[in-house]
Amino acid sequence: MNDPFRLDGKRAFVTGANTGIGQAIALGLANAGAAVIAAGRSSCDDTVSLIEQQGGQAEACAIDLSDPAKAADILKGIGDMDILVNNAGIIRRDDSVDYSETDWDDVMDVNLKAVFMMCQTFARAAIARKAGARIVNIASLLSFQGGIRVPAYTASKHGVAGLTKLFANEWSAHNINVNAVAPGYISTNNTQALRDDPKRSAEILSRIPAGRWGDPADIAGAVTFLCGGASNYVTGAVLNVDGGWLAR
């Protein structure tokens, strides 16, 4: 009997795979047997090396999602893929009354427009070859909450959740499952300043029923599940991996 949690023979494309959550996702998929293309604006050589050290298959791909159309063309040139994970994202902070059009456009291009175009390109190819496929988009707690001083990020992550559901509605008939994972407070470079601030860290931990910061591997496990046979009947879902933050 085939293990429904294995991904042997599958090819996966992971954006923002150079560090943090993206790197953990790439490692998780490779450990499950997938051949991984680790894509990012910064070098993903470290991720490839880690995967190869564990006996997995990987290669790096340079991609800049600030130009969504060019990024989609790069994906098109990669060849047949079974799994797409849209993890890359950026954030710009300022009061909404002062938020610049440049910051708005930059965030929306990477976090939402690029996600749409990457999914569109990936799905066109999968539908054309009549092959089942999986898409996992990385959403956020701010797909559900408003946040403060991050208007473009909040709008983009609400959009990611909405697109995930729309794609699931349109593409499930083609055996393309589309889901999202919404990470909570995860221990990465992006949260280092928060974790180093005793007051803010304590405030955050007091709201998390699990009582700890998440580990990038926590996100990788959820994504790997959504990419394999164990989740065959899961599509259009936004899975919170937040230690209970949203249940509080």
- Segment 193-221, tens digit of pLDDT: 889 999 999 999 999 999 999 999 999 99
pLDDT at 1 over 80: no
pLDDT reported for residue 190? 82
Q: What are the residue ranges spanned by the domains of the chain?
A: 11-238
For residue 191, name the pLDDT band (cuts at 50, 70, 90).
confident
Enumerate the H helices of the chain as residue ranges: 20-31, 45-53, 68-76, 101-108, 114-128, 151-171, 192-196, 198-207, 216-227
Q: Tell me, which fold does domain 11-238 have in CATH?
A: Rossmann fold (3.40.50)
Burial label for 47, CB within 10 Å (0-12, 13-18, 19+), is buried
Tokens representing residue 108 in the block: 């929306």
Are 88 and 22 in contact, with CB atoms under 8 Å apart? yes
Averaged pLDDT for residues 48-67: 98
Active-site annotation holder among 99, 153, 185, 233 = 153
Rg (CA), the chain: 17
DSSP assignment of 87-117? ---------TTT--HHHHHHHHIIIIIHHHH
Exposure b/e, 195-220, CB count within 10 A at least 16 = b: eeeeeebeebeeebeeeebbebebbb
SS3 236: coil
Nearest Cα neighbor of 36 from 62, 5, 18, 60 is 60
First-to-last alpha carbon distance for the chain, in angstroms, is 40
Rounded (to 5) percent helix, strand, coil in the chain = 50, 15, 35
CA 148 from chain centre, in angstroms, equals 22
Q: What is the pLDDT of residue 176?
A: 98
89-141 pLDDT per residue, tens: 999 999 999 999 999 999 999 999 999 999 999 999 999 999 999 999 999 99
pLDDT digits (tens, 9 = 90+) for 130-177: 999 999 999 999 999 999 999 999 999 999 999 999 999 999 999 999
Tens of pLDDT along 219-235?
A: 999 999 999 999 999 99
What are the tens digits of pLDDT across the range 72-82?
Answer: 999 999 999 99
Looking at beta carbons, which pairs linking 61-70 to residues 24 or more positions away fall under 8 Å? 61/13, 61/37, 63/15, 63/39, 65/15, 65/41, 65/109, 65/110, 65/114, 65/118, 66/41, 66/106, 66/109, 66/110, 66/114, 67/109, 68/109, 68/110, 68/113, 68/114, 68/116, 68/117, 68/118, 69/117
Q: Is 185 a catalytic residue?
A: no
User: Measured between alpha carbons, how far is 162 from 153 in angstroms, rounded to an integer?
Assistant: 14
The tokens describing 221, both together, are 């496990």
Q: From CA 208, how far away is CA 195, in angstroms rounded?
A: 14
